[in-house]
Amino acid sequence: MQLKNHSLIKNINRAKILNAIRENKPIARSQIAEKTDLDKKSITNFVNELLSEGLIEEAGKKDNASGRPFTMLEFREKYVMGIYIAPHFSRGVLMDLYGRIEASHEEEYPFYSGLDKITGAVKNIYKALSSRKQPFYGVGICMPGILDFENNTVIESVNIPGLNGINFRDVFAEFIHLPLYFEEESRSIALAEKWFGIGRNYNDFVCVEVSGGIGTGIVNNRRLFKGAGQYAGEIGHLAIEPGGKKCRCGNRGCLEAYASEKTILEYINGVCENPIDRLCYFRPGMIPQKNYNELLAETGARLGMGLSAVVNILCPKVIVLTGSVVNFFGEPLIAHIKSEMKKHCLRGSYEKTEIYISKLELIDAIGAATLPLSTLFEIPEYFYI
Ligand SMILES: [Zn+2]
């Protein structure tokens, strides 16, 4: 790649130094040179710039067997916040610039709540977390729906109609006076995997979230694939049953109408005596084992059919599954998914795809927190970690 733009090269080199500090703190200038292949003069200039901006600080000395002791460098205390807005709750995490979680906070509300309830919850999360640590570098917010990033509006959120038509930047900037970054929920989740999960080991992977809705985040060569219209990955509205159950999007037979948390709750509440409104409140014995097995098999089969389309089209090396439904059923769900996929995938594609369950807790809010982090450590279109 020929880079003629001088400031672009400068930004990439600066990001390389910041990443060397992020991954190896505390680190000496000479060690940054080893990690980045930049010359000593450039490193001195960049480090001076970062020190004067207050982004990094000197962190004591370290013995050097062959000369003067090293002066070590690390980030100054600074934080990012990630907030995830779900159909029936919102949660936030507070992270430092190394990506370490310092605190989290969650607020619940009923499905299909109006905008006031949702913004109230986000406000409470923001207040609770910002009272824990300061200062902040930025706040990332993710939510499900078709988002128009040019106009900062929610075109449609099938599972949170209270967000429909809002200007998300205006709504949240009213009470969050910090740089704000936005992304769609499933794509944020894929970013969390890329930064902190299984996705660290793969340049290309697909992350599938199965919770209140179902969506995918597609990572291609370390960057999100969004499609021409920016809405790529809406697997939840893939028709798996022509003329089937009505979906909240208005169409019939969508995957989401068969395997989302809401559908599963409807099944459970139809069988158990004490209804629950979140899968995390389910306890063994609430429904007969026979019904549980039936629910597991049906959900796995439906998801397997949806994932077959992903595999036949994209042939990903890895699919990472996450979300409340995946956490609820755990590993046994994978067996059902795989046996259905075997029926619908081209053999060559199926055999090349590995399926894992994400190990990241709070993955959605972590994904939102990677949005402000990426403005420091990545250069859009040119440099991805
Ligand atoms: Zn649909």
Ligand 1 centre to CA of 130 (Å) is: 37
Ligand 1 centre to CA of 373 (Å) is: 33
Domain assignment present for 385: no
Ligand 1 centre to CA of 247 (Å) is: 5
Dig out the tokens for 9 from the structure: 């090269």
Q: Which tens digit of pLDDT belongs to each residue from 319-333?
A: 999 999 999 999 999
In 3-state terms, what secondary structure has residue 184?
strand
Find residue 104's DSSP bridge partners.
93
Domain span at residue 369 reads 79-190+364-377
Last residue of a domain, one of 75, 105, 136: 75
pLDDT band at 65 (very low <50, low <70, confident <90, very high): confident
Dig out the tokens for 231 from the structure: 């809405």
Residues 291 and 343 in one domain: yes
Find residue 320's DSSP bridge partners.
207, 356
Last residue of a domain, one of 75, 102, 125: 75
pLDDT band at 162 (very low <50, low <70, confident <90, very high): very high
Residues 227 and 353 in one domain: yes
pLDDT for the residue 6: 87
Domain assignment present for 229: yes
Residues 308 and 171 in one domain: no
Last residue of a domain, one of 52, 75, 98: 75
Residues 205 and 337 in one domain: yes
Ligand 1 centre to CA of 332 (Å) is: 26
Give the rounded percent of residues in the chain with a pLDDT score beyond 90. Answer: 90
Give the CATH number of the domain where residue 69 resides. Answer: 1.10.10.10
Euclidean distance between CA atoms 371 and 365, whole angstroms = 10
Domain assignment present for 384: no
Domain assignment present for 383: no
Ligand 1 centre to CA of 249 (Å) is: 4
Q: Which tens digit of pLDDT belongs to each residue from 86-125?
A: 999 999 999 999 999 999 999 999 989 999 999 999 999 9
* Residue 245 neighbours by CB distance under 10 Å: 12
pTM listed for this prediction: 0.93
pLDDT for the residue 37: 87
Ligand 1 centre to CA of 301 (Å) is: 18
Burial of 242 (0-12, 13-18, 19+ CB in 10 A): exposed
Residues 310 and 220 in one domain: yes
Ligand 1 centre to CA of 234 (Å) is: 9
Tell me: pLDDT of 2 over 80: no
Task: Name the region of 362 (left: φ>0; alpha: ψ -120 to 50; beta: rest).
Answer: left
Residues 287 and 217 in one domain: yes
Q: Which tens digit of pLDDT belongs to each residue from 10-49?
A: 999 999 999 999 999 999 999 999 999 899 999 999 999 9
**Average pLDDT in the 355-363 region?**
96
Ligand 1 centre to CA of 154 (Å) is: 17
Residues 258 and 352 in one domain: yes
Domain assignment present for 34: yes
Residues 353 and 210 in one domain: yes
Ligand 1 centre to CA of 368 (Å) is: 24
Euclidean distance between CA atoms 233 and 285, whole angstroms = 36
Tell me: pLDDT of 314 over 60: yes
3-state SS string over the chain? CCCCCHHHHHHHHHHHHHHHHHHHCCEEHHHHHHHHCCCHHHHHHHHHHHHHHCCEEEEEEECCCCCCCEEEEEECCCEEEEEEECCCEEEEEEEECCCCEEEEEEEECCCCCCHHHHHHHHHHHHHHHHCCCCCEEEEEEEECCEEECCCCEEEECCCCHHHCCCEHHHHHHCCCCCCEEEEEHHHHHHHHHHHHCHHHHCCCEEEEEECCCEEEEEEECCEEECCCCCCCCCHHHCECCCCCCECCCCCECECHHHHCHHHHHHHHHHHCCCCCCCHHHCCCCCCCHHHHHHHHHHHHHHHHHHHHHHHHHHCCCEEEEECHHHHHHCHHHHHHHHHHHHHHCCHHHHHHCEEEECCCCCHHHHHHHHHHHHHHHCECCCECC
Ligand 1 centre to CA of 251 (Å) is: 5
pLDDT for the residue 86: 94
Ligand 1 centre to CA of 262 (Å) is: 13
Domain assignment present for 306: yes
Residues 204 and 182 in one domain: no
Residues 312 and 245 in one domain: yes
Give me the number of domains the chain comprises.
Answer: 3
Residues 337 and 221 in one domain: yes
Give the CATH number of the domain where residue 177 resides. Answer: 3.30.420.40
Residues 16 and 119 in one domain: no
Domain assignment present for 1: no
